[in-house]
A = this chain, B = another copy of it.
């Protein structure tokens, strides 16, 4: 442990003796991310590889820890209280206590002396002077923890700027615009980030100067403007875009004077909100370092760490990188860009990226201007391009993944500012993982571990139905794939609120920022009117797998009117819209979508995964079509076939209702026999589709009244019929009518009255815990008898056609072994033996396996297993006994979760569950991800007990958790044999199962990258 926090030996040796808190990029051990942070590590790596990185140094996380140091225990205790989810008033109080401690902290002794020494080293290396107007050294100050963390302070550029330096820089660069633009930027960033003045103050100033420039341009400089429009198509008159001096000298000088005026306004703003702007660069630097350290305890950062369970072992405090400024905004031979070593959208091995000429990095990220593609950089600056690509490939091999590289070109010279593993679309993530393994860069295991199962799920997002006759109203950039419809909302909070109330929403914004991310999670998709493929909206949407269209510039977003306007169309908040994140298209209304096809690399990856996993993967399917899809997706059987779903067809429902409404066994048998004949072809179809693979068929489970109309429904029908009947009887007309009609009415009334009384009798207070599942099997043995007959008939039909049906009959809702004994001996065994006898087959108990029946005639044979669903708590507690009477267990984790938490799924999700998740009483929706501490405990012990008492016992899970990666990891560790998921989750499950096995194998080895 101690080691994690200390500088490692190599680093120590490389460091000049007097330095305690700082490491230059040339010296640091770039592998030590915990010390240097992610950004510092990447800068050290690139520097040491010989790539052109602006000189700089890292203030290590040790300094940040020492900054908090004296009151660390106190802060930790307050954070601990916050983790208990106190009510809002207490939470606010805790936060303000933390904040007041942090604000009273001073930088550790000696840190600024050391920093001063490092800056002097930079001065020596660059030949410039910090705060020297004649040849000024400007710095960027960038935070960087071991893990990237939203909510923390990011970057301050151009630090060291002041009135004198700006003048000097203008002279030195021979470019007044550049110098004052840099000064303006610095004042904005410093004011906002370091001095904590609100954004909107700066935005208002920016808008004002943009308007002033635009109005000057359109009137006084209309000629220059029209020239520019033809030569520089990206250009528009904005305060942050440098007009080419030669082509538009008037506009240039207007811009410069506006910038000067804006700088003056910004200093006034700072003076009014914080105090006199510090002209002393050393004071600026000290304030910036402190601001970075403080931001580690920013409430947003604290909550992010809490929500993502980031422990001090993973990341403890932030580092600060102090880097010599290079300028992408020195003119049209400069610029800034992002380069992905492979296409992050498709995964193709072609360089991909964006470049924004005459701009600083923040302009690209914020998506304020739409950048050009990397091909254009290749044409304009082939040498720079070549150098970039070569470095990218090197970094890819070194870091064993696709890289995302920030760079700046200053007057034709390339500088590397950062590299990190690229965020990719699901398809790209899969393709590149497979390609990297095939290229020998990583192992197949690594490839599997690189692909998060959720990624595979996202691959399966639907597309717009090609046959749909929909015309897009706008086109933007295809930022994150998938087509999806939702109701328009404009604010992330509204997105959260609406989605909690069950609505599907699309979050529509001009552009997005880290504060908006909660809205991303709540929304089905994201649409912005500004920004590029690497804008915040695009990056985040891809990372979390939400479809997104960004930079759809023809759309005008009006937050106040809560509407968007495009062409002649206006869509209001709550209107439906469909976005296609793969094609970048926006459609009004709900457009039909179709299921996706599977990329070939996914098949490869999953075949590797299959080789690593121990858990089997089956699918839940109720109709032959679903079974076929499941098989195509690699299911190794059906883990849950719900007979009741076969009763949805009206003619079957009618017969089933006859069964339910019958008064006794005699009356019930005939419709049961008919029902049995009706569903036999369905069984046959599914068994045929899964030929040679096991199919678990669950005997009827839900409360019977679910198949009946509700009492209120019947009652109102009864009232209506009675009213009509009485009206008819009383009317003059009736006398002239045939008595037949009256009689028909009377019969109908009688039938409705009977129906009402039966429906009322069958109504239950808590149907989930009522007369259902095996309880129906016990009270009405004919039910399971006839269902088993249908299954057996289908099985023998297939056997006779030379097929290989593998049936597993599952008894639901069991709470005691005697229920199983009873229904086996009263229904299932008689049905099996009678059908076998009728058709000339032998039926024997398997000599080797409990509750397995061998059916044979001549050379044909099949084995039918009888097992149970484990979905009551008591079944888990008495698993040893139950296991002695069954061939398999299948955990019904939906019902088991309901019972363990006493959470009715039908009720809690819209009542208190949202509040519980909000307060953090529950970390996850327990119906999505298994509750390991509660339900998991039962699953684990029942599996162990069951297998101990019946070693041949097969144990699976068929609840919805079967398709959830985190749950699958748990099921692997609990020793289950297989999971069963919905067909569209089968691939996710295969991958998750492999990762669980690999992770288990690698538990003691160093953690594999996710």
Contacts and interface: CB of A to CB of B under 8 A. Distances in A.
B778 A919 contact: yes
A895 interface: yes
Nearest to A769: B904
Nearest to A872: B902
Interface in A872-894: 872-874, 877-878, 881
B818 A84 contact: yes
A767 B765 CA distance: 7
A778 to B, nearest CB: 6
B764 A912 contact: no
A89 to B, nearest CB: 9
B921 A900 contact: no
A247 interface: no
Contacts of A935: 874
A87 B782 CA distance: 12
A85 B822 contact: yes
A900 B84 CA distance: 29
This chain: copies in complex = 2
A769 B907 contact: yes
Interface residues of A, number: 59
Nearest to A765: B906
Contacts of A819: 921
A822 B91 CA distance: 12
Nearest to A712: B712
B822 A770 contact: no
Contacts of A912: 771, 775, 778-779
- Among A764, A818, A874: residue with most chain B CB under 10 A: A874
Given A873-B899, A902-B899, A904-B765, A86 B818 contact: no
Interface string A913-940: 0011001111000000001011101100
Contacts of A155: none
A662 interface: no
A906 B815 CA distance: 18
A665 to B, nearest CB: 12
A22 interface: no
A920 B778 CA distance: 12
A821 interface: yes
B85 A818 contact: yes
A779 B915 contact: yes
Nearest to A915: B779
A781 B87 contact: yes
Residue from A766, A902, A916, A938 whose CB has the most chain B CB atoms within 10 Å: A902
B826 A907 contact: no
A88 to B, nearest CB: 9
A923 to B, nearest CB: 10
Interface in A814-855: 815-816, 818-819, 821-822, 825-826
Given A770-B907, A873-B902, A902-B815, A822 B895 contact: no
Contact of A770 (B87, B908, B920): B908
Given A921-B819, A933-B877, A768 B902 contact: yes
A957 to B, nearest CB: 18
B934 A903 contact: no
Interface in A600-650: none
A898 interface: yes
B766 A769 contact: yes
Contact of A815 (B712, B871, B901): B901
Nearest to A825: B86
10 contacts: A85-B822, A86-B826, A87-B822, A766-B767, A767-B904, A769-B898, A770-B908, A815-B901, A816-B922, A899-B902
A283 interface: no
Nearest to A885: B84
A911 interface: yes
Nearest to A914: B779
A813 interface: yes
A907 B778 contact: no
A85 B937 CA distance: 32
Contacts of A911: 764, 770-771, 775, 779
A933 B779 CA distance: 23
A910 to B, nearest CB: 10
Contact of A766 (B84, B766, B821): B766
Given A921-B822, A938-B877, A766 B907 contact: yes
A90 interface: yes
A416 to B, nearest CB: 46
A90 B821 CA distance: 12
Interface in A795-826: 813, 815-816, 818-819, 821-822, 825-826
A705 to B, nearest CB: 11
Nearest to A923: B818
A815 to B, nearest CB: 5
A85 B781 CA distance: 14
A873 B900 contact: yes
A169 B877 CA distance: 69
Contacts of A904: 764-770
Contacts of A764: 904, 906-907, 911
Given A85-B821, A86-B825, A815-B900, 19 more contacts: A86-B821, A87-B822, A90-B825, A769-B902, A771-B911, A771-B912, A775-B908, A775-B911, A778-B912, A778-B916, A779-B915, A822-B919, A873-B902, A874-B900, A874-B901, A874-B902, A874-B934, A877-B934, A895-B902
